[in-house]
């Protein structure tokens, strides 16, 4: 049967010739594990496409529905399996892994000297794809429309606004107005789900077409005769290695999605000026660097321009044909320097962020009972209900108080605020104080009502 | 291992008497059989296909055949559209043919392990790739299937609703379309919705039209059987044919659907038109003070059975 279909198609669309072209690509020096990063990027991109389409199935791209729809996805279960959270988790972690895979791919091409003549154009197309990847992660950040998304995008777009002369206009064009609102969200949604995927498809195709025109660069050492003698075809050995790599990366993303599902903070609240936004981890180093560079404008404009200029002009400046990293000490040392700097800056940035309490779910639920029975709602407001004497606690978990600070606050609030009128809840047992602190730390961060269970 | 030999495209092809027939131009093969079938020989005036069984000797410097120059012209002329690239499994161990400068194919497997082994190895690797791809595909498609089905199979949650009307306030033997507010739920959204039911208060149990047709035909579910009242029939406003809303025609004392003219009696019995079943009776409870509660069930459209949408 399969044979007949194959023969039928072969006669009409010459499928064997096509497959031969795709699979019998000659690889000088033979197949290697070192050649899989490009395929890994491609695989994660496909994964993002598929899970992204799935998320769009249930996503509502307006400020009054976006958060609710993401919370709905988080609660979608089928036969007891949290499929919604899983799909969102794959997309969420997929974006991080994609950035890593793109970074590894770029680094390898650089160290292998594979961007040199005649592969300069392929390198440039790759630089465009890097930009698309970064734009995709930036635009996807806003879509859940929670506090992190909103304030992160406020800062990100404000940075664009600092660019001299045109910045303000570009910022307003991106936001669809002066402020961040409904048009910003639909702009970002359109960018993220229509414009970027289209550009991705075009540039990935271009990348691959050029790749097949010039062929793989192959190893950086070895005589042409030796490479010729050890030549292999793409199929089956390299394809098998790629497939193993894809399975590995898939399991890794799946594990992250299951063990560390993405969070959802409380819905974007433009009046919560106390919110302390942090960027996605791969922008940490830029975040830290911008704090060091003064005046600010130099960093905001200079840094991306510098990165773009270096990447774009690299193959045209570095024209020596020598490819081995062992004979390019400057290239290798500067790579090491940049990587170390990025790592140190990222660690510094992470260190500077307020650590939110790692909430223990069981303790949080016990603490909720304590909260409801101890009379907290008499003075405090929670999600629109309760008293007005004390502060609103709806987003208290995002403030970043430690468990210790909170327990002191329960039993002796004057230690923090001398004028505090809050009663001292000294009758709470240490266990209850701890549980209550866990519950307070969860507020605005998790434990949202399940919209699939309507009353 | 044999000494490596390269046959270049362009090497002379010799005839039976040692005279030149032309030069090797291309190699033709039957891909489905994994077999080289013919060589294309370029003579001075044209190209001819030379079957491989006429080749007597392959030699790095030349190819010898048992064909005469005159005979060569009897072979079919090469049709360029038949040309295929040479696949890697073609070459005998220790040998390969270079097709011009750009395309050189010399598979590792064939050279090192002989053709038989190489094909097994190749097939094994191909199968492994298929298994890995299937593993990824299935473990991605299964959650996606669940993800799509999770919303599709969300149960319709309907509960008892007090209609805010009392039995004693209803007219006798005259259907009343009673509207009430409800919510329709889709995903994360609850949208307020106006719904209506037909309320038919019966003057006497003796009235032949007081017994709902659903009950007579045995279409009711246990929920509807357990919650019915001889004093009142509640009918769904939705026509079981295609979902329009039948209207009560006072003069004729009939429900007539405006879309396709399905006609029903007071108790929901279909007496004309394309509808597959009577109008659907809904579960009803009447409290001691006469207040009426119903469950607004919805049923599959267009079938004879009264199948509740879950």
Residues 6+ apart with CB under 8 A from A321: A116, A117
Mean pLDDT of all residues in B96-107: 43
DSSP letter for each residue of A290-305: HHHSSSHHHHHHHHHH
* A427 vs A412: CA distance, rounded Å: 12
Q: Decide: helix, strand or coil at residue A408.
A: helix
Residue B220, helix vs strand vs coil? coil
Q: Tell me if B136 and A54 make a contact (CB, 8 A cut-off).
A: no
Give the H or E element holding residue A254. Answer: helix A239-259
For chain B, give the percent of residues with pLDDT over 90: 28
- pLDDT on residue B96: 62
CB B179 within 8 A of CB B195: yes
Confidence of residue B90 (pLDDT cuts 50, 70, 90): low
Coil, strand or helix: which one is A51?
Answer: helix
Domain A25-279 adopts which CATH fold? Answer: Cytochrome Bc1 Complex; Chain C (1.20.810)
B268-304, pLDDT tens digit by residue? Answer: 889 988 999 999 999 999 999 999 999 998 899 999 8
Contacts of B25 (CB under 8 A, 6+ apart): B9, B39, B40, B41, B42, B47, B78
Whether residue A416 contacts residue A407, with contact meaning beta carbons closer than 8 Å, is answered with no
Tell me whether residues B125 and A250 touch, CB distance under 8 A. Answer: no
Structure tokens belonging to residue A392: 């609103």
pLDDT at B100: 43
CB atoms within 10 A of CB A413: 18
Helices (H) and strands (E) in chain A, counts: 18, 4
DSSP B308: B
Q: Which residues of A touch B139 (CB under 8 A)?
A: 250, 254
Contact A83 B105 (CB under 8 A): no
pLDDT of residue A454: 60
State the average pLDDT over residues B143-158: 86
Q: Which helix (H) or strand (E) holds B48?
A: strand B47-51
Cis (ω within 30 of 0) for the bond into A118?
Answer: yes
Q: Name the CATH architecture for the domain at B5-114.
A: Roll (2.30)
pLDDT (0 to 100) of residue B92? 54
Indicate the DSSP class of residue A234.
I
Candidate from A17, A71, A83 with C-beta closest to B143? A83
Q: What is the DSSP string of B134-197?
A: HHHHHHHHHHHHHHHHHHHTPPP---EEEEEEEGGGSPBT--EEEEEEEEEEETTEEEEEEEEE
Which candidate, A34, A19, A44, places its Cα nearest to that of A241? A34
pLDDT at position B91, please?
53
Taking contacts as CB-CB distances below 8 angstroms, the residues of chain B near A94 are none
| Residue of chain B nearest A26, judged by CA positions | B105
Measured between CB atoms, which of A26, A54, A77 is closest to B105?
A26
* Parallel/antiparallel/unpaired status of strands B284-286 and B176-186: unpaired
- Helix and strand numbers (H, E) in chain B are 4, 19
Q: What is the dihedral of CA A396, A397, A402, A405, to 10 degrees?
A: 20
Considering chain A, tell me which residue range(s) the CATH 1.20.810.10 domain(s) occupy.
Answer: 25-279
B114-120, long-range: CB within 8 Å, 24+ apart, which pairs? B115/B89, B118/B89, B119/B34, B119/B89
pLDDT at residue A134, rounded to an integer? 94
* Residues of chain B positioned with their CB less than 8 A from the CB of A47: 140
What pLDDT sits at residue B119? Answer: 62
Residue B171's CB: how many other CB atoms inside 10 A?
11
pLDDT at residue B54, rounded to an integer: 85
Q: Which CATH class is domain A361-442?
A: mainly alpha
Rounded CA gap, A378 and A409, in Å?
A: 17
- Contact indicator for B281, B220 with CB cutoff of 8 Å: yes
Name all contacts of B25-32 with Cβ < 8 Å and 24+ positions apart.
B25/B78, B26/B78, B26/B83, B26/B99, B27/B86, B27/B90, B27/B97, B27/B99, B28/B82, B28/B83, B28/B84, B29/B84, B29/B86, B29/B87, B29/B90, B31/A10, B31/A16, B31/A20, B31/B84, B31/B87, B32/A7, B32/A10, B32/A16
Q: Please, are residues A90 and A253 in contact by the beta-carbon 8 Å criterion?
A: yes
* Contact state of A86 with B122 under an 8 Å Cβ cutoff: no
Beta bridge partners, A232, equal A27
B contacts of A57 (beta carbons < 8 Å): 147-148, 151
Q: Which of B105, B125, B143 sits opposite A86 (nearest CB)?
A: B143
DSSP code for A147: H
Mean pLDDT of B223-246: 90
Contacts of B147 in chain A (CB under 8 A): 54, 57, 76, 78, 83-84, 86-87
Mean pLDDT calculated for residue range B211-235: 87
Closest CA of chain A from B270, distance in Å: 36
What contacts A124, CB < 8 A, 6 or more positions away? A312, A315
Give first-to-last CA distance, chain B, whole Å: 72
Q: Quick one: pLDDT band at residue B156, thresholds 50, 70, 90?
A: confident
Q: Where are the domains of chain B?
A: 5-114, 160-295
Residues A43, A348: Cα–Cα separation, whole Å: 32
pLDDT at position A174 is 93
Q: Give the gap in angstroms from C-alpha A42 to the nearest C-alpha of chain B.
A: 14
Contact across the interface for B108 and A54, Cβ inside 8 Å: no
The β-bridge relationship of strands B12-14 and B63-65 is parallel
pLDDT on residue B161:
87
Q: For residue B248, which of B267, B274, B275, B221 has the smallest C-alpha distance?
A: B267
Q: pTM for the whole thing?
A: 0.79
Of A432 and B75, more confident: A432
| A117 cis-preceded (ω within 30 degrees of 0) | no
Q: Which of A282, A263, A284, A266 shows the shortest CA–CA distance to A274?
A: A266
Residue B99: pLDDT above 60? no
Residue ranges of chain A assigned to CATH 1.10.760.10: 361-442
What's the order of all strands across the beta sheet hosting B95-99?
A: B5-8, B95-99, B103-104
Closest CA to B9 of B98, B82, B106: B98
Three-class DSSP category at A353: coil
Nearest to B105 among A24, A30, A239 (CB): A24
Q: How far is CA A58 from the centre of its chain?
A: 20
Q: List CB contacts (< 8 A) between A72 and chain B.
A: 187-188
d(CA B310, CA B301): 13
Q: Are the CB atoms for A407 and A377 separated by under 8 Å?
A: no
pLDDT one digit per residue (tens) for chain A, 455 residues: 778 898 888 888 888 778 878 887 888 888 889 899 999 999 999 999 999 999 999 999 999 999 999 999 999 999 999 999 999 999 999 999 999 999 999 999 999 999 998 899 999 999 999 999 999 999 999 999 999 999 999 999 998 898 888 999 999 999 999 889 999 999 999 999 999 999 999 999 999 999 988 888 888 887 777 787 777 888 888 999 999 999 999 999 999 999 999 999 999 998 888 888 888 899 899 889 888 888 888 888 888 889 999 999 999 998 888 888 888 999 899 999 999 999 999 999 999 888 888 898 899 999 999 999 988 888 998 888 888 888 889 889 888 899 999 999 999 999 999 988 898 998 999 999 999 999 999 999 988 988 887 65
Q: Cβ separation of B129 and A232 shorter than 8 Å? A: no
How far, CA to CA in Å, does A209 sit from each of A38, A109, A202, A224?
A: 14, 17, 11, 24
Is pLDDT above 60 for B59? yes
Query: What is the 3-class SS of A156-213, one letter each residue?
Result: HHHHHHCCCCCHHHHHHHHHCCCCCCHHHHHHHHHHHHHHHHHHHHHHHHHHHHHHHH
Q: How many whole angstroms separate alpha carbon A356 and alpha carbon A185?
A: 27
pLDDT at B113: 42
- Contact between residue B97 and residue B86 where contact means Cβ atoms under 8 Å apart: yes
Strands (DSSP E) found in A85-168: none
Residue B75 reports pLDDT greater than 70:
yes
**B118 → chain A, closest CA residue:** A236
The answer regarding whether domain B160-295 maps to CATH 3.90.1280.10 reads: no
Report the chain B residue with the minimal C-alpha distance to residue A68. Answer: B188
| A231 → closest Cβ in B106, B135, B139 | B106
Nearest 5°: the CA angle A185, A187, A192 is 95
Put simply, the answer to whether A57 touches B132 (Cβ < 8 Å) is: no
Task: For residue B84, list chain A residues with Cβ-Cβ distance below 8 A.
Answer: 16-17, 20
Best interface-test mutation with B: which of A12, A42, A62, A76 has the largest number of B CBs within 10 A?
Answer: A76
- CB spacing of B151 vs A76 below 8 angstroms: yes
Choose among B126, B132, B144: nearest Cβ to A54: B144
With an 8 Å Cβ cutoff, are A232 and B108 in contact?
A: yes
Residue A426, judged by CB atoms within 10 A of its CB (0-12, 13-18, 19+), counts as: exposed
Which member of A58, A87, A237 has the closest CB to residue B143? A87
- pLDDT at residue B105 greater than cutoff 70: no
pLDDT at B49 over 90: no
Contacts of B183 in chain A (CB under 8 A): 454
CB B284 within 8 A of CB B214: no
> How many angstroms separate the CA atoms of A353 and A278, rounded?
7
CA–CA min distance B145, chain A (Å): 9
Which one, of A130, A156, A132, lies nearest residue A142 by Cα? Answer: A156
Give which of B231, B236, B227, B246 is closest to B284, Cα–Cα. B227
Classify residue B194 as exposed, middle or buried by CB count within 10 Å of its CB (0-12, 13-18, 19+).
Answer: exposed
């Amino acid at each position: 049967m399969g044979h007949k279909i194959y023969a039928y198609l072969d006669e009409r669309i010459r499928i064997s010739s096509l497959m031969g072209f795709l699979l019998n690509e000659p690889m000088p020096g033979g197949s290697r594990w070192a050649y899989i990063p490009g395929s890994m990027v491609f695989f994660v991109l496909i994964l993002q496409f598929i899970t992204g389409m799935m998320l769009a199935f249930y996503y509502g791209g307006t400020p009054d529905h976006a958060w609710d729809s993401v919370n709905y996805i988080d609660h979608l279960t089928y036969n007891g399996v949290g499929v919604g959270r899983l799909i969102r988790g794959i997309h969420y972690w997929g974006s991080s892994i994609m950035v890593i895979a793109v970074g590894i791919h770029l680094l390898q091409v650089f160290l292998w000297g594979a961007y040199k003549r005649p592969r300069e154009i392929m390198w440039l197309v790759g630089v465009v794809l890097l930009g698309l990847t970064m734009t995709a992660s930036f635009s996807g950040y806003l879509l859940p429309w929670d506090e992190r998304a909103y304030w992160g995008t406020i800062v990100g777009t404000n940075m664009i606004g600092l660019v001299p002369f045109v910045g303000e206009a570009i910022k307003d064009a991106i936001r669809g107005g002066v402020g961040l609102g409904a048009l910003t969200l639909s702009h970002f949604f359109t960018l993220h789900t229509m414009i970027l995927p289209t550009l991705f498809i075009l540039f990935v195709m271009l990348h691959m077409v050029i790749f097949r025109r010039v062929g793989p660069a192959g190893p950086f050492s070895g005589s042409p005769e030796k490479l010729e003698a050890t030549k292999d075809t793409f199929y089956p050995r390299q394809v098998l290695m790629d497939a193993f790599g894809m399975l590995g990366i898939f399991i890794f993303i799946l594990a992250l999605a299951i063990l560390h599902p993405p969070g959802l903070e409380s819905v974007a609240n433009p009046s919560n000026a106390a919110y302390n936004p942090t960027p996605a981890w791969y922008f940490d180093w830029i975040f830290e660097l911008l704090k060091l560079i003064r005046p600010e404008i130099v960093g905001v404009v200079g840094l991306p321009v510098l990165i773009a200029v270096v990447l774009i002009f690299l193959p045209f400046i570095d024209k020596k044909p020598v490819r081995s990293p062992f004979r390019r000490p400057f290239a290798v040392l500067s790579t090491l320097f940049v990587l170390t700097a990025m790592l140190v800056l990222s660690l510094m940035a992470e260190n500077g962020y307020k650590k939110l309490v790692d909430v223990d779910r069981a303790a949080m639920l016990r603490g909720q009972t304590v909260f409801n029975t101890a009379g907290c709602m008499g003075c405090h407001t929670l999600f629109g209900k309760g008293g007005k004497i004390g502060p609103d606690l709806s987003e208290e978990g995002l403030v970043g108080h430690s468990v210790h600070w909170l327990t002191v606050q329960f039993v002796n609030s004057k230690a923090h605020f001398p004028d505090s009128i809050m009663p001292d809840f000294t009758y709470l047992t240490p266990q209850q104080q701890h549980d209550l602190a866990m519950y307070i730390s969860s507020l605005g961060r998790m434990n949202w009502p399940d919209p699939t269970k309507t009353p | 291992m044999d000494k490596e030999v390269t046959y270049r495209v362009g090497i002379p092809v010799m005839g039976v008497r040692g005279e030149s027939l032309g030069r090797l131009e291309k190699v033709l093969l039957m891909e489905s059989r994994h077999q080289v079938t013919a060589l294309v020989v370029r003579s001075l005036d044209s190209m001819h296909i030379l079957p491989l069984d006429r080749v007597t000797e392959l030699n790095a410097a030349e190819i010898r055949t048992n064909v005469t120059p005159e005979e060569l012209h009897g072979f079919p002329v090469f049709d360029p559209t038949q040309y295929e690239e040479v696949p890697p499994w073609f070459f005998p161990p220790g040998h390969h043919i270079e097709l011009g400068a750009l395309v050189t194919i010399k598979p590792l497997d064939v050279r090192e392990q002989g053709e038989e082994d190489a094909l097994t190895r190749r097939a094994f690797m191909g199968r492994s790739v298929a298994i890995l791809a299937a593993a990824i595909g299935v473990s991605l498609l299964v959650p996606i299937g669940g993800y799509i089905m999770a919303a599709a199979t969300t149960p319709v949650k309907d509960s008892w609703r007090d209609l805010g009307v009392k039995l004693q306030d209803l007219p006798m033997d005259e259907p009343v379309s009673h509207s009430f507010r409800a919510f329709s739920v889709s995903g994360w959204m609850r949208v307020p919705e106006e719904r209506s039911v037909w309320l038919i208060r019966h003057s006497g149990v003796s009235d032949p039209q007081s017994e709902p047709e659903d009950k007579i035909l045995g279409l009711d579910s246990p929920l509807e059987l357990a919650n019915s009242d001889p004093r009142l029939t509640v009918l769904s406003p939705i026509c079981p044919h295609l979902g329009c809303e039948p209207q009560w025609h006072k003069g004729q004392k009939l429900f007539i659907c405006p879309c396709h003219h399905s006609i029903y009696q007071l108790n929901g019995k279909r007496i004309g038109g394309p509808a597959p079943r009577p109008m659907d009776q809904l579960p009803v409870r009447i409290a001691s003070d006469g207040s009426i509660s119903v469950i607004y069930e919805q049923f599959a459209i267009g079938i004879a059975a009264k199948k509740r949408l879950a």
